[in-house]
Amino acid sequence: MSETPAQAEQPQKPGIVKMVPRIAKLVYHLMRDPRVPWTVKATLGGMAVYLASPVDLIPDWIPGAGYLDDIVLVAIGINYIFAKIPEDVIIEHWGEDVQLLKRFRRERKKKA
């Protein structure tokens, strides 16, 4: 199936599957960077512990709502990270596809 010219010109939205490895890499590098405040590092560590823990506010076995608390926690955490860390530090640790990060940040600002 081929794309029409109008479809080819529309910018692609960053898919969550494409974002997960990038965000994991970003978190790893931010945890090791001395320019990142300790409060951000504590938040990242707390998020990681909560996501890995089998104990949740909303049990995962509840259909449709089981992962809601995890999604909300990640969204709040990403929002906090982008608010507390200078953009140049985030871009430095993001990797080569800076346009994807900028589109992701722009969409996040529109929703806020």
Whether the pTM exceeds 0.75: the reply is no
110 pLDDT higher than 80 = no
* Tokens 């530090």, located at residue: 89
11 pLDDT higher than 70 = no
**Residue with more model confidence, 106 or 87:** 87
Dist. CA 28–CA 72, nearest whole Å:
21
C-alpha radius of gyration, the chain, whole number? 16
Stretch 92-101: mean pLDDT: 80
Chain-wide mean pLDDT for the chain? 79
